[in-house]
């Protein structure tokens, strides 16, 4: 039995009658979070203010100390606790240069709040009509952008670019082995992606039970795009060995180098090989998680240039446009709003060119129809891997309305502007840092340091370096990662240990390490690039000095000071 005056359980909930007191309470609590976060901001640091002592025992201590309070804590106090979580949190200031980790935009956040206020379940349109309506609108908008026929296409909001790759694989398996859902997945089915593809497919192979052994990685060209000639060879090899190619993932914007696979060439190659062997064409998924939003430039009039883009920016965007133009050939693709769509997690859209494909995944094709093709009350998503789904479409819808085509174009153009400025400055001021994705303009620059007397990037590409030589250069770059990592509260750069696989002199293979500059914060402007490069100059000098010291101490790695003619 409860004693004393029991609290009214309604206190924790929004009103049911729209009374102003509850609204003011909610405004106050949200205001507390907004003001509290603002108080932590420092535009000259990557992190919000506050300190966190994250010792090796940090998580252990948390586990031991954390208890559910016996009596609930007043909501203002909860707000204080929430704000403590944000202390020293990375924030998207002008020095946030690390990866595809965007800031959530105001319309993206407001869209989420609208969705949360009714908390509809996107499992069924009757439970979540707002989410379903927004979802269908977003599918229509993005289908047109991708070059799909919106009356034929279909899709749903899902869990990330990875979820889209996984769903594409489920479709691919069902197309080629319709009874796989009953009998299990036959082990003769194979999937293909490039060496530079995201590990999502690798994981999906495991999760579908196909096994990663049945994933064939196709060589990349120096611009990190798939070598389509190698795709043809590998498909033919698999077929000769008794396998069936069912799934091709074309990466339209690799996560590290922003290499863009040529979908048209891939499509033609895949169709030709399939025809030659009398096989059904494999399902082609465009992994456009990173690059999809560049489709906003697909019908930009570069000649008239209504946005007055700088000529090198326009040129860069046109290079991308030429590669993105054929996105609509893919059987399925992804718009990862939580990446360049500027909405909070989780907001990703999986699209299929032909909504019939979704039937293949459905629980019961007769009873659970697919989005946009039946009447209200019949939209029950039996084909999604999730059961309950959030109405993330409302946030997407909100961002699409607020940004518009022009807003997204301007944002992307700014990222490209900043990236090009960075490349110019690096080229002019830090000759020992070589840009190793020079053919992919976009928003990412990978730069790799070379030791004095070491071999050059060009030599690495040509396959004339020993694995020892490449390892030595990788070691130097790893030192750079470490140093930048130590100071990432000042400027936050990314890095990769798998940029380009190259042949070695002894017929082995080696991967190249590189540091990463990622233009992703709207607050990074061209005028900040000068200082960013000056900072890098300092750190690079430091790295070379440390290496010299290591050499003096008799370290096995001999790396001297950089010379400018090593390229
Ligand atoms: C980020 C990324 C993914 C994974 O997307 P999530 O939204 O993180 O699941 C897949 N492919 C590419 C190319 C990516 O950049």
Confidence grade of residue 152 (pLDDT, cut at 50, 70, 90) = very high
Query: Is pLDDT above 80 for 166?
Result: yes
Measure 517 CA to ligand 1 centroid, in angstroms. 18
**In-domain check, residue 534:** yes
Task: List the CATH number of the domain containing 470.
Answer: 3.90.1150.10
Last residue of a domain, one of 54, 75, 91: 91
**In-domain check, residue 431:** yes
Query: Is pLDDT above 50 for 562?
Result: no
Contact at 8 Å (CB) between 433 and 449?
yes
Percent of the chain predicted with pLDDT > 70: 94
Pick the closest to residue 358 from 181, 165, 206, 156 (CA basis). Answer: 156
Cβ–ligand 1 contact at 200 (below 6 Å): yes
Nearest atom (ligand 1) to Cα of 253: 13
Residue with tokens 């946009």: 372
**In-domain check, residue 203:** no
Contact at 8 Å (CB) between 200 and 165?
yes
Q: Where are the beta strands (DSSP E) in 230-331?
A: 244-251, 283-287
**In-domain check, residue 120:** no
Cβ–ligand 1 contact at 255 (below 6 Å): yes
Question: Whose alpha carbon is nearest atom 7 of ligand 1?
Answer: 160
Q: What is the pLDDT of residue 550?
A: 72
Measure 539 CA to ligand 1 centroid, in angstroms. 30
**In-domain check, residue 500:** yes
Mean of the per-residue pLDDT values for the chain? Answer: 93
Residue whose CB lies within 8 A of the most ligand 1 atoms, among 157, 160, 220, for a mutation test: 160
**pTM assigned to the model:** 0.94
The end-to-end CA distance of the chain, in Å, is: 80
Average pLDDT over residues 415-426: 98
Query: Is pLDDT above 60 for 7?
Result: yes
Q: Which domain covers residue 84, as residue numbers? A: 19-91
Q: Give the total number of structural domains in the chain.
A: 2
Q: What is the pLDDT of residue 454?
A: 85
Measure 197 CA to ligand 1 centroid, in angstroms. 10
Contact at 8 Å (CB) between 523 and 484?
no
Contact at 8 Å (CB) between 139 and 352?
no
Question: Whose alpha carbon is nearest atom 4 of ligand 1?
Answer: 161
For residues 381 and 378, what is the distance between their CA atoms, to the nearest angstrom?
A: 9
Residue-wise pLDDT for 290-328, tens only, equals 999 999 999 999 999 999 999 999 999 999 999 999 999
Question: Whose alpha carbon is nearest atom 5 of ligand 1?
Answer: 161
Which one has a higher pLDDT value, 211 or 546?
211
For residues 563 and 454, what is the distance between their CA atoms, to the nearest angstrom?
A: 10
Question: Whose alpha carbon is nearest atom 10 of ligand 1?
Answer: 161
**In-domain check, residue 437:** yes
Last residue of a domain, one of 91, 106, 140: 91
**In-domain check, residue 458:** yes
Q: What is the pLDDT of residue 559?
A: 43
**In-domain check, residue 52:** yes
Last residue of a domain, one of 91, 108, 134: 91
Pick the closest to residue 35 from 24, 23, 27 (CA basis). Answer: 27
């Amino acid at each position: 039995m409860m004693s004393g005056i029991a609290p009214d359980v309604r206190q924790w909930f929004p009103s049911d009658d729209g009374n102003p007191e509850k609204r003011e309470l909610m405004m106050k609590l949200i205001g507390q979070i907004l003001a509290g976060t603002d108080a932590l901001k420092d535009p000259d640091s990557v992190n919000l203010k506050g300190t966190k002592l994250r010792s090796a025992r940090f998580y252990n201590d948390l586990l031991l100390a954390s208890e559910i309070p016996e009596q609930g804590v007043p909501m203002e106090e909860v707000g204080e606790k929430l704000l403590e979580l944000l202390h020293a949190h990375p924030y998207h200031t002008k020095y946030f240069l690390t990866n595809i980790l965007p800031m959530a935009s105001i319309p993206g956040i407001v869209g989420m709040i609208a969705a949360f206020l009714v908390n509809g379940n996107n499992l069924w349109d009757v439970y979540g009509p707002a989410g379903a309506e927004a979802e269908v609108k977003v599918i229509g908008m993005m289908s047109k952008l991708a070059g799909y026929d919106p009356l034929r296409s279909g899709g749903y909001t899902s869990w990330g670019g990875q979820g889209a790759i996984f769903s594409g694989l489920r479709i691919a398996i069902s197309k080629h082995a319709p009874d796989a859902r009953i009998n299990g997945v036959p082990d003769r089915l194979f999937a293909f992606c490039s060496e530079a593809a995201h590990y999502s497919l690798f994981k999906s192979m495991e999760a579908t039970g196909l096994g990663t052994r049945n994933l064939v990685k196709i060589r990349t060209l120096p611009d990190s795009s798939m070598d389509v000639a190698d795709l043809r060879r590998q498909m033919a090899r698999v077929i000769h060995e008794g396998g069936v190619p069912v799934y091709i993932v074309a990466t339209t914007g690799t996560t590290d180098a922003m290499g863009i696979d040529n979908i048209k060439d891939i499509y033609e190659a895949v169709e030709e090989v399939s025809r030659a062997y009398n096989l059904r064409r494999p399902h082609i998924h465009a992994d456009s998680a990173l690059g999809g939003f560049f489709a906003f430039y697909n019908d930009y009039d570069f000649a008239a240039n209504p946005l007055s883009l700088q000529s090198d920016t326009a040129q860069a965007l046109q290079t991308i446009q030429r590669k993105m133009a054929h996105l609509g050939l893919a059987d399925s693709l992804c718009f990862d709003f939580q990446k360049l769509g500027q909405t909070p997690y989780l907001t990703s859209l999986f699209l299929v060119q032909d909504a019939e494909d979704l039937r293949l995944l459905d629980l019961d094709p007769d009873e659970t129809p697919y989005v946009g093709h039946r009447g209200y009350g019949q939209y029950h998503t039996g084909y999604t891997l999730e059961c309950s789904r959030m109405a993330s479409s409302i946030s997407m819808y909100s961002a699409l309305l607020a940004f518009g085509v022009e807003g997204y174009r301007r944002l992307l153009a700014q990222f490209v502007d900043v990236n090009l400025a960075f490349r110019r400055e690096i080229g002019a001021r830090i000759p020992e840092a070589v840009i190793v994705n020079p053919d992919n303009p976009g928003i990412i620059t990978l730069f790799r340091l070379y030791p004095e007397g070491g071999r050059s990037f060009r030599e690495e590409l040509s396959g004339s370096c020993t694995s020892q030589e490449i390892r030595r250069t990788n070691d130097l770059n790893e030192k750079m990662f470490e140093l930048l990592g130590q100071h990432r509260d000042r400027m936050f750069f990314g890095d990769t240990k798998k940029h380009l696989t190259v042949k070695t002199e002894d017929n082995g293979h080696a991967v190249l390490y590189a540091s990463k500059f990622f233009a992703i914060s709207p607050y990074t402007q061209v005028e900040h690039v000068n200082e960013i490069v000056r900072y890098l100059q300092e750190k690079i000098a430091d790295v070379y000095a440390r290496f010299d010291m290591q050499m003096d101490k008799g370290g096995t790695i001999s790396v001297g000071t950089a010379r400018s003619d090593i390229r």
